[in-house]
Copies of this chain bind each other. A is one copy, B any other.
Amino acid sequence: MISVAEAEARIIAALRTTDAETVAIAEAAGRVLAAAATAKFDQPPAPVSAMDGYAVRADDTTGLPASLRVIGASPAGHPFNGNLNEGEAVRIFTGGVVPSGADAIVIQEDTEARADSVLIKSAAKPGQHIRKAGLDFAKDSVLAAAGKRLTARDVALLAAGDVASVSVHRKPVIAFAATGDELSRPGEARKQGGIVASSGYGLAEMITRWGGEAHDLGIFPDTAEAIARIADADADLIVTLGGASVGDHDLVQKALGPKGFALDFWKIAMRPGKPLIFGMLGGTPLLGLPGNPVSSLVCAMLFLRPAITALLGADTKAELRAATLIRDLPANDQRQDYLRARTEVRDGKLCVEAFMIQDSSMLSILAKANALIVRPPNASAAKAGDQVDILPLEL
């Protein structure tokens, strides 16, 4: 058995980042940049007004009230192209370019409009309510670095920088196959004593949300001939669901060995999910997740998520959070434990409680949970009020 950290490191070491492709900015959210995206121009491109009001020379507002001649207007998108001289003002609106000669904006509320002039009732300081050219970003500055996964806000920023398309890593194709004679699909006739294939439906959504392209290869019976067909999948990473426990493991070895499968490891000191296969199937990495649906989904969060992140060339480090225990926990054995748990905010403090039942077959508990409490190997008993590490369940 190897540790969770070693397993993750070995998986990541075996992966190669996908190639770059170009996508339009409207399709770029959630993608990972293959190259830095830089601004095409200064933002704002010229000094602009931060308010509705009048562009003035601050010097002209020392004696109050000051009456200034209005020589034009500068709404956003329609700059006033003349020069503003002593005793003059230009009507201006938020986002309007500040005319040359002006050095301050007096907000509308501090003025009184006349026929061709404006009465200024408050002294202006130079620079007041003016956004300088390049305040937000300068031409050629990096708006988002290579390896960044783009948020909706990043995409807005890139658009503002006139970036019409970006170079991103191709979404890795994650092909997954369920194995098991007991499985049927939802809505199909169930087998005698059989159950319904479930984790693949959750997994497909997780793969998509983590940035991959999910390919459902289907359900494979527990025979070497059937499992061998999984090797035909054209993918960046193949995932099997089930087929990783003692007897199954032999089957997967027997089925995929002739196809060139080279095992790296198949046991991790963790719960749920000890039996987890990883190796190379020809040139394609293969991750064999446990068959219990809770184990398979938890192991997907722990190993498939960083694998997809690594394939995308992004930072794989997951940030643990701390929370305060609501109820005592017993000491842990040598396996790292991931307890299904529920957090709640009490007096602004993040608190967490593990479910009493931690059976790895119970999807109902996993669905109710919103976090996993991470218990390191051989952790001593923990009391209510102690801090523990948690992993939030985001999807």
Interface residues of A (CB under 8 A from B): 25-26, 29-30, 41, 43-46, 48, 50, 52, 75-79, 93-95, 97, 108, 131, 135-137, 143-144, 151-165, 180-183, 185-187, 190-206, 209, 222, 245-247, 291-293, 297, 319-322, 345, 348-350, 359, 361-364, 366-367, 369, 387, 389, 393, 395
Contacts and interface: CB of A to CB of B under 8 A. Distances in A.
Given A155-B202, A187-B164, A136 B181 contact: no
A151 B190 contact: no
Given A135-B361, A205-B29, A199 B156 contact: yes
Given A151-B395, A180-B76, A361-B50, A156 B44 contact: no
Contact of A195 (B95, B143, B164, B185): B95
A143 B297 CA distance: 18
A317 to B, nearest CB: 12
Contact of A153 (B131, B154, B349, B366): B366
Contacts of A205: 29-30, 152, 155
Given A50-B359, A192-B79, A157 B367 contact: yes
A52 B196 CA distance: 20
Given A193-B45, A322-B349, A25 B291 contact: no
A194 B77 contact: yes
A162 B247 CA distance: 27
Contacts of A29: 202, 205, 395
Given A77-B194, A79-B192, A198-B157, A25 B186 contact: yes
Given A182-B76, A191-B77, A367 B144 contact: yes
B361 A131 contact: yes
8 closest Cβ contacts across the A-B interface?
Answer: A164-B187, A322-B348, A77-B182, A156-B202, A77-B181, A160-B198, A152-B205, A29-B205
Nearest to A199: B156
A133 to B, nearest CB: 10
Contacts of A157: 198, 363-364, 366-367
A197 to B, nearest CB: 7
Contact of A136 (B95, B154, B291, B364): B364
B201 A245 contact: no
Given A108-B246, A156-B293, A157-B367, A350 B350 contact: yes
Contacts of A193: 45-46, 48, 77, 79, 97
Nearest to A369: B153
A367 B153 contact: yes
A297 B155 CA distance: 12
Given A199-B156, A245-B94, A135 B76 contact: no
B94 A291 contact: yes
Given A151-B393, A162-B196, 8 more contacts: A25-B201, A151-B395, A156-B198, A157-B363, A159-B202, A161-B196, A319-B345, A322-B345
